[in-house]
């Protein structure tokens, strides 16, 4: 749980400018609470360890893909990161509701994550965003 909260806080919230370096600890605590509530509620809703695993692995792998893209190309614009995170969440939740949870959920999540990156790139051509801070 701590690793997931740390990743959300440092890789996304700090890089997108939603939190500052001096508020990192507080943001990490809030992220941990949100992730715990999400995990408990999903466990109560799903009631099957295999379905819960597919759901969270799909979400983690697609967000991991975004982290990999940001690691390879640190100049990724804010729009691409924000749209990718948002569409990644949609790409996991909506297919899980419509088609239920299966191993194909990872493919949906990757597709939506890539679509978010491309859509953010196109939006950035018309409405430039300030650059993401590069990690030291």
Band (pLDDT 50/70/90 cuts) for residue 15 is: low
Residue 132 in domain: no
Residue 37 in domain: yes
**Encoded tokens for 108:** 């949906």
User: pLDDT of 33-84, one tens digit each?
Assistant: 888 887 788 778 777 777 777 777 887 788 788 888 888 888 888 888 888 8
For residue 30, the enclosing domain spans 2-126
Q: What is the pTM of this model?
A: 0.66
* Contact (Cβ atoms closer than 8 angstroms) between residue 59 and residue 44: no
Residue 77, sorted as left (phi over 0), alpha (psi -120 to 50) or beta, turns out to be beta
**Encoded tokens for 1:** 């749980």
Residue 133 in domain: no
Residue 14 in domain: yes
Domain count, the chain: 1
Residue 45 in domain: yes
* CA atoms of 39 and 103, how far apart (whole Å): 19
**Encoded tokens for 26:** 């507080």
Phi, psi (degrees; rounded to nearest 5) at 131? -70, 150
Q: How many CB atoms lie within 10 A of CB 104?
A: 12
């Amino acid at each position: 749980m701590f690793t997931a909260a740390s990743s959300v806080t440092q890789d996304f919230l700090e890089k997108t400018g939603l939190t500052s370096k001096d508020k990192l600890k507080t943001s990490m605590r809030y992220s941990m609470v949100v992730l715990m509530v999400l995990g408990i509620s999903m466990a109560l809703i799903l009631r099957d360890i295999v379905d819960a695993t597919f759901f969270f692995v799909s979400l983690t792998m697609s967000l991991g893909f975004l982290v990999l893209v940001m690691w390879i190309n640190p100049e990724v614009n804010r729009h691409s990161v924000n749209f990718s995170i948002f569409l990644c969440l949609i790409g996991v939740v909506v297919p899980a509701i419509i088609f239920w949870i299966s191993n194909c959920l990872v493919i949906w999540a990757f597709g939506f994550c890539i679509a978010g990156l491309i859509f953010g790139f196109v939006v950035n051509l018309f409405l430039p965003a300030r650059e993401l801070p590069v990690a030291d």
